[in-house]
Amino acid sequence: MKALSIFVDESGDFGEYEAHATYYIVAMVFHDQSADIAENLLKLDNSLKQMGYGDGQAIHTEPLIKALSIFSA
């Protein structure tokens, strides 16, 4: 039996517009469980370790979004 995993995450603010929260983002990842992504995950983990992130450490994109909003202003 095939299985499809769906991961949904959101970030942002539904409130009134504020300059520090200009975007509301919804991300969706669809993964066919019959497709092996172990090698891809290993590459991602190794890249994160090379950048100084530890095992299981959360990565937040807020600094990236703030940097992008500086360039678009």
Over the stretch 11-68, which tens digit does the pLDDT of each residue have? Answer: 777 677 777 777 788 889 898 989 998 998 889 888 888 888 777 666 666 666 566 5
The total number of structural domains that make up the chain: 1
Do residues 14 and 3 lie in contact, with contact meaning Cβ atoms separated by under 8 Å?
no
d(C-alpha 7, C-alpha 29), whole Å = 5
Total length of the chain: 73
Domain hosting residue 46, numbered range: 4-72
Q: Which residues contact 30 (CB under 8 A, 6 or more apart)?
A: 4, 5, 6
Widest CA span of the chain, in angstroms?
A: 50
Give pLDDT, residue 39: 93
